A = this chain, B = another copy of it.
Amino acid sequence: MEDLKTGAEITWCPGCGNFGIFTAIRNAIPILEEKGIKRENVVITAGIGCHAKIFDYLNLSGIYGLHGRNCSNSEGIKIANPDLKVINFSGDANGLAEGLTHTMFAAKRNQDITFILHNNSVYALTTGQFSPLAEKGWKGPSTPRGSYEEPFNPMSLMIEAGATFVARSFAGDIKHLTDIMVQGVEHEGFSFIEVLQPAVPYHKWAEYRERVEYLEKEPETYFEAIKAAKEKHKFTIGVFYRTTRPVYHKELYDDHNPVTQKISREIRLDKIRKFLSDK
């Protein structure tokens, strides 16, 4: 299992962009190990959708959660045991429709987790409905006349929400993606990584390859970041925003770890005795 694969049958479509994400994360983990992050400290969560199948394939511990809710699982893991490094895989419906509030609040809190958004701009697993990132006019089974909604801009949205590392990469550029993943996990705080992920029944790789472009220069200020997010087209990859502010679990209890530093029963009962005697 050294290549981080389980024995599970892979049921992504041949040519699916998720293979690229799968490869990149398997590349990233050993790099992170070299940098001192122990593999057993890395745990993953996934929502429900094609993206989430990575949970079965990746030989790492974690939670395969509910559609839209794994971000909360991730937060719960990190809060309970901050020693763990949490990588959160999400689809665009998972993380930006059903689960939008959780994603926004995890960013707001600057939870120290890495949120990987598999952006295929559809609800792939449920047969291709328009998603929060689908272009207006997109014809899926729930919008046969074309969707009526403008898509969100994940970069500016997450900057707005409070993410401290916001980047876009491409499932077809394993090197770039691996690098961004490593940076995302290393970053202390909420790292949001949008991955352009073609879904073959709905898009063409060629269109992606033609249009993908690198952000020339990493923006240095908030306004530069917003400008880049808004003015570059949505196939522009790179780090859009990077900043630092306190992470949630440290605000909550500095360096305490409720799981590894659990207070014993005896001490608890003594303190409860004290509590009651004051009542």
Chain A interfacial positions (CB closer than 8 Å to B) = 97, 100-101, 104-105, 108-110, 132, 148-150, 152-153, 156-157, 160-162, 222-223, 226-227, 230, 245-246, 248, 251-252
Contact = CB atoms under 8 A, between A and B. Distances in A.
A252 B148 CA distance: 7
A228 to B, nearest CB: 12
A226 to B, nearest CB: 6
A93 to B, nearest CB: 12
Nearest to A152: B108
Nearest to A100: B101
A80 to B, nearest CB: 16
Contact of A149 (B97, B100, B109, B132): B109
A201 B222 CA distance: 36
Contacts of A108: 132, 149-150, 152
B227 A148 contact: no
Contacts of A109: 148-149
23 contacts: A100-B101, A100-B104, A100-B105, A101-B101, A104-B104, A108-B150, A108-B152, A109-B148, A109-B149, A110-B150, A148-B248, A148-B251, A149-B248, A152-B161, A153-B160, A156-B160, A157-B160, A157-B161, A160-B160, A222-B230, A223-B227, A223-B230, A226-B226
Contact of A150 (B149, B152, B162): B162
A147 to B, nearest CB: 9
A76 to B, nearest CB: 16
A45 to B, nearest CB: 19
Counting from the closest, the 9 A-B pairs by CB-CB distance are: A148-B251, A100-B101, A160-B160, A101-B101, A109-B149, A108-B149, A157-B160, A156-B160, A150-B162
